[in-house]
A and B are shown apart, each in its own frame.
Chain A
């Protein structure tokens, strides 16, 4: 066991922080107050990712042949921690580099690789994820959006929901049922659908967690060329499973939560309340949750660095990370008190982000089911 980053990774972190200090505008906190789906942040992230790519860091963990540097998962984890700790200025593009790119490397045709990978690697493209449907949330395999083959195109009809970033996205990583007779995990395909196709209609769902955070995507007789299909027809579930295994490390929510907590503690100290009954203990309890989540995430990264298959470590890390984020988010509200009611305030902006922890990217209950059956080996439920 060894609990230290290599000197190279530590040096990279320092270099990255200097880069962030240069590239993040002074009013970044204000700019990001409306959340990752806002026009201001999406536009910013496009420019920012291009700079990150120019520095050679955006897809450094990719193989060289696809525009990467063969960097280790640990190096990429340092990038993820620093990005999340600084408000995730990559915006939606973390998806591109974390799992959409790798899925295309594994399943893509030569033409698909040539079209998509260089753009992702340059930081020059926005994607969205077309998974959830009104009746397929945690139970994703219940999805109903149909894609029926008509010559050299699929005719797609259906509806996706809770989609983020799709108002500005260039492409959608879309899950469809390509075999109308099929059920559950069989008969699903993945389409790399251009968002500009006729019949794609995006409607915002107003929410309390951020501007343009959620959308519905209506698909009406959208003709998606067959060569947009990723991987074998009807076997899209395998593609998604593979892609999401890449996403197993997930967002470094613990890194953001730890930084927010330090700011909260600094505020408590500056207002002379660091000795108040119960408050230091609660700050410390939140800190311990962040630290436990960090180490559980490191277990996952360690597994990937060693080339092992995904394990239930991922689910443990996700529950710990989302718990830490939520606890810190709520504590920040309390500490800042009524000032946190102001929309632009630090605590309110952070709270909007932390509110979705435990629901976004898979409900906590699903994670707990997997921990119960795979880690504790409890008997399967009814």
Chain B
């Protein structure tokens, strides 16, 4: 047992944080969100610095990819790093041409990052499929949940090369870990941002963050964020066992709803405005909760893995 980052892991994080400080952050995220755009510049910068291959590195792997996923989400980076940098390489065994979008063959609903994606990784029953996306496969949709979204034709969701036996299960498990890592990063940032706000904001002659009624709610959020953190790290480090992956995703997505609610409540009316950065994380938290069937589906999966509950 050792629950601390190694020096090498710290170096990875320092590197990605420095890159994100230049290329990401809430201001840029708000600009992109306004036009529903994908951050091609950030995608290119991450690829150039080698982070796109971190999941398959000689000295790095799934845990490091999960750590980077979390950091990108924390910086509200407008790229699909979880899909392209964590899930795809670990399922396909190679880096797929990015941006990568994740979809289920039988789900006609809106897909995150679809308007920008070059590659689609599809969960099709027991297998995963890799398909190149062509113009005409995707209809962009207006959305203000912080991610570019589009609908993908059924034809595109059904074509492509199957990755072989067990690839469906692997995709589902890594998708869950990636989703949980994204939720973790966004929850952490939303919480810290709100802590900053309630420390500054004065009412009744004192910072509102000095009231216990406010402190306890944020402290309870902190317990959720830190719990999600270690569930994500453990699931990633252990190679996404089905039970651990469902547990991390169920916990993180359930927590995401709570953190969204509490951070908005404590931010008052300013929290709803685009001039206040909370929305770049809080809206995404709700979007993440809608993926893969949401918290209830992750929890049902956990009940099945743990106790054999029917799907």
Contact = CB atoms under 8 A, between A and B. Distances in A.
A and B associate in one complex: yes
A281 B230 contact: no
A104 B189 CA distance: 44
Contact of A2 (B1, B199, B214, B216): B1
Contacts of A1: 2-6, 9, 63, 233, 237
Interface string A352-382: 0000000000000101110111011111111
Nearest to A74: B1
B1 A4 contact: yes
**A285, A291, A320, A371 pick with most chain B CB within 10 angstroms:** A291
Nearest to B298: A284
B226 A296 contact: yes
Interface in A1-32: 1-6
A5 B210 CA distance: 41
A378 B2 CA distance: 29
B219 A368 contact: yes
Question: Does more than half of chain B's interface fall in helix, strand or loop, or is it mixed?
Answer: helix
A368 B300 contact: no
A371 B207 CA distance: 17
A332 interface: no
Interface string A275-303: 10000110111011101110110110110
B222 interface: yes
B222 A316 contact: yes
A269 interface: yes
Q: For this complex, into which size category does the number of interface residues on chain B fall?
A: 35 or more
Interface string B198-220: 11000000110111101110111
B1 A298 contact: yes
Nearest to A283: B303
A266 interface: yes
Contacts, number: 165
B234 interface: yes
Contacts of A296: 223, 226-227, 230
B195 interface: yes
B302 A3 contact: no
A275 B310 CA distance: 6
B184 to A, nearest CB: 12
Contacts of B183: none
A379 B299 contact: no
Nearest to B249: A288
B222 A3 contact: no
A370 to B, nearest CB: 8
26 contacts: A1-B2, A1-B4, A1-B6, A74-B1, A265-B306, A265-B307, A269-B307, A274-B303, A274-B308, A281-B299, A283-B303, A283-B309, A284-B246, A284-B303, A285-B254, A292-B231, A296-B227, A296-B230, A298-B1, A302-B1, A368-B215, A369-B219, A376-B218, A378-B195, A378-B215, A379-B207
Interface of B: 1-6, 9, 63, 191, 195, 198-199, 206-207, 209-212, 214-216, 218-220, 222-223, 226-228, 230-231, 233-234, 237-238, 246-247, 250-251, 254, 296, 299-300, 302-304, 306-310
Interface of A: 1-6, 74, 262, 265-266, 268-269, 274-275, 280-281, 283-285, 287-289, 291-293, 295-296, 298-299, 301-302, 305-306, 316, 319-320, 323, 365, 367-369, 371-373, 375-382
